[in-house]
Amino acid sequence: MTRPDAQNQVLAALPSIPRDDEGPVFREPWEAQAFAMAVQLHAKGVFTWPQWAEALGKEIANAGAEDTGEDYYLHWMAALEKLTQANGVVSHSEFSDRKDAWDRAARATPHGEPIELGREQRERAAHGQSQPRAQTD
């Protein structure tokens, strides 16, 4: 028989603690990716941590008094997009182009297969439905 993990039991023992509802540190992979990107961009000097806290704080403040904390990483990601664009790391147009590309790639990918940008480019070439691009490609 396996003994229950004493530490988890202890943490679950406190009254009124919503620990069981919290689940893992990150509930979905994108939360972990958004978290790790901010930490790496800070390490690269793209922003200072006070700048980050201010940007994140603005997003959280906009969410208002009903914010349950469940949307924390949505706010995190919004702050990350704004800061990377404000600091010239990623332009708004390349971000939205890339997002459209991933969207088309996902829609063109049958379930169970990895989603790849190449597939979308093939699809785009086949259908010729992309918008003219200002970039040099």
Partner 1 sequence: MSKSHDHHHHGEGSELPDIALRVKSLESLLIEKGYVDPEALDVLIETYETKVGPRNGAAVVARSWLDEEFRKQLIEDASAAAGSLGFTGRQGEHLVALENTPDTHNMVVCTLCSCYPWPVLGLPPVWYKSAPYRSRAVADPRGVLEEFGVNMPDETAVRVWDSTAEIRYMVIPMRPEGTQDWSEEDLAQLVTRDSMIGTGLALTPDQLEAAKTP
**By CB under 8 A, what part of segment 65-124 binds partner 1?**
65-70, 72, 74, 77, 80-81, 84, 89-90, 94-96, 98-103, 106-111, 115, 117
Instruction: Report the residue number, 15 or 128, with the smaller CB distance to partner 1.
Output: 15
Position 37: which residue type?
Answer: M
34 binds partner 1 (CB under 8 A): yes
20 binds partner 1 (CB under 8 A): no
Q: Which of 25, 51, 21, 24 is nearest to 36 (CA)?
A: 25
Size of the site for partner 1 (CB under 8 A): 76
- The only residue of 1, 2, 14, 128 in contact with partner 1, by rule CB under 8 A: 14
- 3 state DSSP class of 54: helix
Query: Who's near 119: CB < 8 A, 6+ residues apart?
Result: 105, 108, 109
